[in-house]
Amino acid sequence: MSGKSLNLTLGFSHPVSVAIPEGIAIETPTVTEILIKGIDRQKVGQIAAEIRDIRPPEPYKGKGVRYANEKITLKEGKKK
Protein backbone atom coordinates (compact mmCIF):
# COMPACT_ATOMS: atom_id res chain seq x y z
CA MET A 1 0.00 0.00 0.00
CA SER A 2 1.14 3.49 -0.78
CA GLY A 3 -1.41 6.21 -0.15
CA LYS A 4 -4.61 5.49 -2.11
CA SER A 5 -3.11 2.85 -4.40
CA LEU A 6 -2.12 -0.78 -4.07
CA ASN A 7 1.22 -1.72 -5.63
CA LEU A 8 1.45 -5.30 -6.87
CA THR A 9 4.44 -7.27 -8.13
CA LEU A 10 2.87 -10.07 -10.17
CA GLY A 11 5.74 -11.32 -12.28
CA PHE A 12 5.45 -8.76 -15.05
CA SER A 13 8.38 -6.59 -16.14
CA HIS A 14 6.80 -3.65 -14.30
CA PRO A 15 4.96 -3.19 -10.99
CA VAL A 16 1.19 -2.76 -11.27
CA SER A 17 -0.68 -0.15 -9.22
CA VAL A 18 -4.42 -0.29 -8.58
CA ALA A 19 -6.38 2.80 -7.46
CA ILE A 20 -8.59 2.19 -4.42
CA PRO A 21 -12.07 3.79 -4.46
CA GLU A 22 -13.64 5.57 -1.48
CA GLY A 23 -15.25 3.33 1.14
CA ILE A 24 -12.83 0.43 0.56
CA ALA A 25 -10.07 -0.50 3.01
CA ILE A 26 -7.27 -2.83 1.90
CA GLU A 27 -4.86 -4.56 4.26
CA THR A 28 -1.88 -6.78 3.48
CA PRO A 29 -1.18 -9.03 6.50
CA THR A 30 1.43 -11.04 4.57
CA VAL A 31 3.22 -10.58 1.27
CA THR A 32 0.88 -12.97 -0.56
CA GLU A 33 -2.45 -11.98 1.06
CA ILE A 34 -4.72 -9.02 0.38
CA LEU A 35 -7.75 -8.31 2.60
CA ILE A 36 -10.43 -6.10 1.06
CA LYS A 37 -13.01 -4.62 3.44
CA GLY A 38 -15.90 -2.25 2.97
CA ILE A 39 -19.57 -1.63 3.66
CA ASP A 40 -20.78 -1.93 0.05
CA ARG A 41 -20.59 -5.59 -0.98
CA GLN A 42 -20.78 -4.74 -4.69
CA LYS A 43 -17.76 -2.41 -4.49
CA VAL A 44 -15.73 -4.98 -2.54
CA GLY A 45 -16.49 -7.67 -5.11
CA GLN A 46 -15.77 -5.30 -7.99
CA ILE A 47 -12.32 -4.26 -6.74
CA ALA A 48 -11.50 -7.92 -5.94
CA ALA A 49 -12.46 -8.89 -9.50
CA GLU A 50 -10.37 -6.05 -10.96
CA ILE A 51 -7.31 -7.16 -8.98
CA ARG A 52 -7.85 -10.77 -10.06
CA ASP A 53 -8.23 -9.75 -13.74
CA ILE A 54 -4.70 -8.35 -13.77
CA ARG A 55 -3.27 -11.88 -13.54
CA PRO A 56 -5.90 -14.66 -13.30
CA PRO A 57 -4.78 -18.15 -12.23
CA GLU A 58 -3.54 -20.16 -15.17
CA PRO A 59 -4.47 -23.86 -15.46
CA TYR A 60 -1.00 -25.38 -15.91
CA LYS A 61 1.05 -24.11 -12.95
CA GLY A 62 -1.68 -22.42 -10.90
CA LYS A 63 0.16 -19.09 -10.74
CA GLY A 64 -1.82 -15.88 -10.51
CA VAL A 65 -4.19 -14.03 -8.19
CA ARG A 66 -6.96 -16.20 -6.76
CA TYR A 67 -9.63 -15.85 -4.10
CA ALA A 68 -9.17 -17.35 -0.63
CA ASN A 69 -11.24 -20.54 -0.99
CA GLU A 70 -10.86 -20.98 -4.74
CA LYS A 71 -9.72 -24.37 -6.04
CA ILE A 72 -7.75 -24.41 -9.29
CA THR A 73 -7.89 -27.69 -11.18
CA LEU A 74 -4.55 -28.09 -12.89
CA LYS A 75 -4.41 -29.51 -16.41
CA GLU A 76 -2.08 -32.30 -17.31
CA GLY A 77 1.06 -31.23 -19.17
CA LYS A 78 2.44 -32.63 -22.39
CA LYS A 79 3.34 -36.30 -22.48
CA LYS A 80 6.52 -37.48 -24.13
Over its length of 80 residues, how does the chain's per-residue pLDDT go in tens digits?
788 899 999 999 999 999 999 999 999 999 899 999 999 999 999 999 999 999 999 999 989 999 999 999 999 988 88
The pLDDT of residue 26: 93
Domains of the chain, earliest start first: 5-54 (3.90.930.12)
Residue 62 Cα distances to 15, 18, 42, 66, 73, angstroms: 20, 22, 27, 9, 8
Q: What is the pTM of this model?
A: 0.86
In whole angstroms, what is the distance from residue 49 CA to residue 80 CA?
A: 37
